[in-house]
């Protein structure tokens, strides 16, 4: 809980507002290289962009967020981290390297645990967004995972010691961009199969934007002073599944370990 | 144990992960697990109290709701607006056909004396009229084996899958904890404590039959005040309750969610057809009521907190629903590998 206390102190110091402002600037500069919105995008009746649909990345981000050549257990990828490298503190980098070495047994994904935020977004299985004016509901095919992004003006809970797997998500609109502030995490999730990690002080600011009717430009800024020396940014595109009849198929994969114990009885 | 917290935190998932590798550890749970609300039937007298949100089981009878026109509010796409929080009004999944009768063979008396059968809520089986499931003989024997094994889980299959965080399936999800309905053009979404269901309103074809799922594949449409849902592709690994009742993967369910005019109640009336296990189709009826922030706090039926919305509208916050609380063989007395018997 040390890191938790640290965060609380940090919040109390009022530093966070200034930092958040700087994050937005960083993030906005990162956005400079993305295409502007083209063509018509779907909208709700209130005029806000409508993200409803089934989405999935085509990137290799979940294998490794940083640029990497092919490995036996990962296709190559250019990475999705702005600047290429995650700015780990020296101690955290050591831990990441240990995680990397143990990745084929230690990745929480292998136990089918909830992937967390943002990993669930760029994990290579589809998720479906259901959207109302007041919230977005993200149903992930992988695991028993439903994430609500509140867009009704409510604030993070006063009690900030919940330690959610997915964080607590509160959003507002900046033009056609949905900006989501996510905090109050536990430290049980990884960010990739390469052992990238965070602790409970993780704070994620996501920026969701439709660049055309079938493509979401997803950006996120991650900060966690116990693990990273500065905030850092990722950006990945999500593509709409348009195959006729495509639908989410439940994958409560943690049940597969005991599936063998539940044969359907027969006469 | 407080559901709210357990649903949010997977701290004991470490234990959970371990027990997947070593199934017998499933039984090594603390005695406090027994204090979970799902095992805490109220005294029989409390069952007659009005529905003020006390225990899990409080209604011994309920009215039918007629199918008909919907006169209440609608969503922009024309669907009756039934979104919000709901929970059953009778009891949890202790006992499928005698919902307030406790778990058969429960070694704990729980300080309760059961009165005559008529003093308790009716069977969830509304047809046949005797309230019993029309099992084939072999299947009845299997159900009784499961029921007997519930308190003596000498085989892994006697542990109810829900106790390992598996989705509660159909119909049990509707009498596990309270749950939420969210609606969208073309969809009705059920968010349960254990698992979700996406009911597709604008689709007419099921998934290929070889795909089998805990919560099945659901196609729905509205008929007036009634949401009609056709369910197939069930893996039928989820039991109906702690009494071991089950169906096969050939089961087909036709569900009717019939909402009252005041939008405060609905009755679930579903026909189960499964010639592999049963001698005839049967009907399951489950009453439900709406929960709002005007109700007394109840973490079993209505696991929410008031959102942080200072000076503005009261809104119910639903935190993440991630199962941990059932990672043990909760409520059971189980033979350990050493032969030692240990309550947990």
CB contact under 8 A, A113 and B17: yes
Q: Distance (Å, rounded) from C-alpha A210 to C-alpha A238?
A: 9
- A181 within domain boundaries: yes
CB contact under 8 A, B214 and A252: yes
A239 versus A256: which is more confidently predicted? A239
Residue closest to B2 by CA, chosen among B319, B329, B293, B342: B319
Task: Give yes or no for B279 touching A (CB within 8 A).
Answer: no
Domain boundaries along the sequence of chain B: 3-343
Q: Give the helix, strand, coil percentages of chain B, each rounded to 5.
A: 15, 25, 60
Task: Give yes or no for B159 touching A (CB within 8 A).
Answer: yes
Residue closest to B216 by CA, chosen among B226, B206, B204: B206
> pLDDT, tens digit, for every residue of B251-274?
999 999 999 999 999 999 999 999
**Distance of residue B255 Cα from the nearest chain A Cα, in angstroms:** 20
Query: Which are the contacts of A13, defined by CB distance < 8 A and separation ≥ 6?
Result: none
Q: Report pLDDT for B9.
A: 35
**Any idea which residue has 């994620």 for tokens?**
A204
Q: State the SS3 of A128-172.
A: EEEECCCEEEEEECECCEEEEEECCCCECCCCCCCCECCCEEEEE
Residue B74 near residue B68 (C-beta atoms within 8 A): no
Q: For A109-118, B36-45, B273-282, which range has the lowest pLDDT when averaged over its residues?
A: B36-45
CB contact under 8 A, A132 and B317: no
Cα dist from B215 to A139, B7, B98, B173, B249, whole Å = 14, 19, 24, 9, 11
Give the residue from chain A lying closest to B238, CA to CA. Answer: A262
Q: Distance (Å, rounded) from C-alpha B65 to C-alpha B259?
A: 7
Of A52, A157, A254, the CB nearest to B184: A52
- A250 within domain boundaries: no
- A251 within domain boundaries: no
DSSP state of A94: H
Q: Report pLDDT for A21.
A: 42
Q: Distance (Å, rounded) from C-alpha A164 to C-alpha A155?
A: 16
Of A137, A188, A259, the CB nearest to B189: A137
Q: E strands along chain B, which residues?
A: 84-88, 125-127, 179-184, 187-191, 196-200, 217-223, 226-232, 252-259, 265-273, 282-291, 305-306, 316-317, 333-335, 341-343
Q: Please report residues of B whose CB lies closer than 8 A to that of A262.
A: 157, 161, 237
Q: Distance (Å, rounded) from C-alpha A205 to C-alpha A208?
A: 10
**Distance of residue A1 Cα from the nearest chain B Cα, in angstroms:** 13
Neighbours of A93 (CB within 10 A): 16
Q: Distance (Å, rounded) from C-alpha B68 to C-alpha B65?
A: 9
Mean pLDDT of A113-133: 97
Of A130, A157, A250, the CB nearest to B214: A250
Q: For A87-101, B24-38, B255-269, B286-300, which range has the lowest pLDDT when averaged over its residues?
A: B24-38
DSSP H/E element including B7: helix B3-8
Task: Give yes or no for A161 touching B (CB within 8 A).
Answer: no
Residue closest to A204 by CA, chosen among A119, A79, A136: A119
For an interface test with B, give the residue of A45, A54, A127, A146 to mutate (most B CBs within 10 A): A146
Residue A221 near residue A23 (C-beta atoms within 8 A): yes
CB contact under 8 A, B318 and A168: no
Number of domains in chain A: 1
- A43 within domain boundaries: yes
Question: Helix A2-13 vs helix A15-31: angle between axes, to the nearest 10 degrees?
Answer: 90
CB contact under 8 A, B322 and A158: no
Q: Distance (Å, rounded) from C-alpha A151 to C-alpha A169?
A: 9
Residue B110: pLDDT band (50, 70, 90) is low
CB contact under 8 A, B320 and A186: no
**pTM confidence score:** 0.84
Residue A112: pLDDT band (50, 70, 90) is confident
Residue closest to B156 by CA, chosen among B47, B271, B27, B48: B27
Which string of b and e fits B223-235 if b means at least 16 CB within 10 Å? eebbbbbbbbbbb
- A261 within domain boundaries: no
Q: Which ranges of B100-158 would DSSP assign to H, the alpha helix? A: 137-149
B106 versus A87: which is more confidently predicted? A87
Q: Please report residues of A whose CB lies closer than 8 A to that of B246.
A: 264-265
CB contact under 8 A, B10 and A186: yes
Of A145, A250, A258, the CB nearest to B215: A250
A 96-135 residues inside an 8 A Cβ radius of B: 111, 113-114, 128, 130-132
Q: Distance (Å, rounded) from C-alpha A220 to C-alpha B206?
A: 37
CB contact under 8 A, A261 and B157: yes
A131 versus A254: which is more confidently predicted? A131
| Helices and strands: H and E segment counts in chain A | 5, 9
CB contact under 8 A, B307 and A150: yes
Q: Report pLDDT for B241.
A: 94
Q: Distance (Å, rounded) from C-alpha A51 to C-alpha B123?
A: 44
Of A111, A146, A267, the CB nearest to B136: A267
A 192-251 residues inside an 8 A Cβ radius of B: 245, 247-250
Based on the number of CB atoms within 10 Å of its own CB, is A132 exposed (0-12), middle (13-18) or buried (19 or more)? middle
pLDDT over threshold 50, residue B34: no
Tokens of B109: 């008396």
CB contact under 8 A, B249 and A264: yes
Q: For A259-263, B111-115, B151-155, B253-257, which range has the lowest pLDDT when averaged over its residues?
A: B111-115
Of A248, A249, A264, the CB nearest to B236: A264
Of A144, A147, A156, the CB nearest to B195: A144
Tokens of B255: 């569900």
Q: Report pLDDT for B108.
A: 78
Q: Report pLDDT for A36.
A: 62
Q: Distance (Å, rounded) from C-alpha B266 to C-alpha B70?
A: 13
Q: Report pLDDT for B136.
A: 98
Of A156, A249, A252, the CB nearest to B195: A252
Q: Distance (Å, rounded) from C-alpha A59 to C-alpha A76?
A: 10
CB contact under 8 A, B20 and A248: no
Q: E strands along chain A, which residues?
A: 53-56, 127-131, 135-140, 145-150, 168-174, 177-183, 203-212, 215-223, 232-240
The domain in which residue A93 lies consists of: 2-243
**Distance of residue A156 Cα from the nearest chain B Cα, in angstroms:** 6
Q: Determine the distance from the C-alpha atom of residue A231 to the mean position of all C-alpha atoms in its chain, rounded to a whole number.
A: 15
CATH number of the domain bearing residue A211: 2.40.128.20
Mean confidence (pLDDT) of chain A: 88
> pLDDT, tens digit, for every residue of A16-37?
444 444 444 344 334 434 456 6
- A6 within domain boundaries: yes
Task: Give yes or no for B312 touching A (CB within 8 A).
Answer: yes
Q: Report pLDDT for B55.
A: 59
Task: Give yes or no for A160 touching B (CB within 8 A).
Answer: no
- A194 within domain boundaries: yes
Residue A140: pLDDT band (50, 70, 90) is very high
Mean pLDDT of A170-197: 97
Question: Do strands A145-150 and A168-174 pair parallel, antiparallel, or not at all (unpaired)?
Answer: parallel
Residue B197 near residue B107 (C-beta atoms within 8 A): no
Of B17, B76, B167, the CB nearest to A111: B17
pLDDT over threshold 50, residue B134: yes
Task: Give yes or no for B228 touching A (CB within 8 A).
Answer: no
**Distance of residue A185 Cα from the nearest chain B Cα, in angstroms:** 10
């Amino acid at each position: 809980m040390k890191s938790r206390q640290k965060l609380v102190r940090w919040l109390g110091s009022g530093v966070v507002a200034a930092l958040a402002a700087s994050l937005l600037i960083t993030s906005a500069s990162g956005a400079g290289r993305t295409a502007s919105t083209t063509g018509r995008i779907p909208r709700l009746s209130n005029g806000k962009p409508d993200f409803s649909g089934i989405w999935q990345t085509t990137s290799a981000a979940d294998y490794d967020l940083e640029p990497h050549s092919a490995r036996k257990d990962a296709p190559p990828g250019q990475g999705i981290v702005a600047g290429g490298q995650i700015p780990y503190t020296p101690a955290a980098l050591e831990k990441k390297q240990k995680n990397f070495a143990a990745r084929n047994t230690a990745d929480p994904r292998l136990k089918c645990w909830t992937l967390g935020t943002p990993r669930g977004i760029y994990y290579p299985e589809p998720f479906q967004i259901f959207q109302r004016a007041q919230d977005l509901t993200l149903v992930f095919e992988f695991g028993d995972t439903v994430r609500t992004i509140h867009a009704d003006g409510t604030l993070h809970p006063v009690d900030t010691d919940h330690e959610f797997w997915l964080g607590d998500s509160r959003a507002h609109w900046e033009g056609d961009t949905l900006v989501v502030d996510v905090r109050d995490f536990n430290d049980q999730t990884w960010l990739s199969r390469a052992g990238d990690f965070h602790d409970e002080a993780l704070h994620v600011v996501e920026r969701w934007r439709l660049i055309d009717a079938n493509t979401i430009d997803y950006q996120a800024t991650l900060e966690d002073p116990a693990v990273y020396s500065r905030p850092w940014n990722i950006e990945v595109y999500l593509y709409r599944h348009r195959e006729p009849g495509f639908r989410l198929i439940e994958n409560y994969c943690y049940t597969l370990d005991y599936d063998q114990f539940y044969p359907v009885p027969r006469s | 144990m407080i559901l709210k917290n357990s649903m949010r935190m997977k701290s004991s998932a470490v234990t959970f992960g371990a027990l997947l590798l070593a199934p017998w550890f499933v039984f090594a749970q603390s005695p406090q697990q027994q204090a979970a609300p799902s095992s805490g039937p109220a005294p029989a007298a409390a069952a007659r109290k009005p529905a003020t949100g006390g225990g899990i089981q409080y209604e011994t009878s309920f009215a039918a709701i007629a199918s008909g026109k919907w006169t209440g509010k609608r969503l922009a796409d024309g669907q009756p607006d039934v979104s919000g929080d709901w929970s059953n009004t009778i009891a949890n999944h202790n006992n499928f056909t005698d919902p307030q009768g406790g778990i058969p063979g429960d070694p704990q008396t729980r300080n309760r004396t059961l009165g005559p059968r008529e003093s308790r809520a009716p069977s969830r089986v509304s047809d046949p009229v005797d309230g019993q499931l029309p099992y084939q003989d072999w299947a009845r024997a299997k159900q009784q084996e499961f029921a007997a094994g519930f308190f003596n889980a000498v085989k892994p299959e006697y542990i109810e899958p829900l106790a390992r965080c598996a989705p509660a399936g159909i119909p049990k999800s509707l009498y596990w904890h309270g749950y939420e309905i969210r609606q969208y053009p073309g969809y009705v979404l059920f968010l349960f404590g254990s698992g979700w269901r996406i009911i597709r309103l604008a689709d007419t074809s099921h998934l290929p039959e070889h795909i089998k799922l805990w919560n099945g594949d659901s196609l729905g449409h509205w008929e007036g005040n009634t949401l009609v849902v056709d369910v197939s592709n069930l893996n039928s690994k989820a039991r109906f309750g702690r009494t071991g009742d089950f169906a096969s993967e050939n089961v087909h369910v036709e569900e009717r969610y019939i909402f009252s005019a005041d939008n405060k109640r609905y009755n679930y009336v579903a026909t189960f057809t499964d010639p592999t296990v049963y001698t005839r189709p049967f009907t399951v009826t489950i009453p439900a009521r709406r929960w709002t922030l005007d109700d007394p706090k109840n973490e079993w039926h209505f696991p929410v907190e008031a959102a942080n919305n200072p000076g503005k509208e009261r809104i119910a916050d639903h935190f993440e629903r991630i199962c941990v609380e059932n990672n043990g063989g909760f409520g059971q007395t189980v033979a350990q590998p050493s032969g030692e018997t240990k309550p947990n």
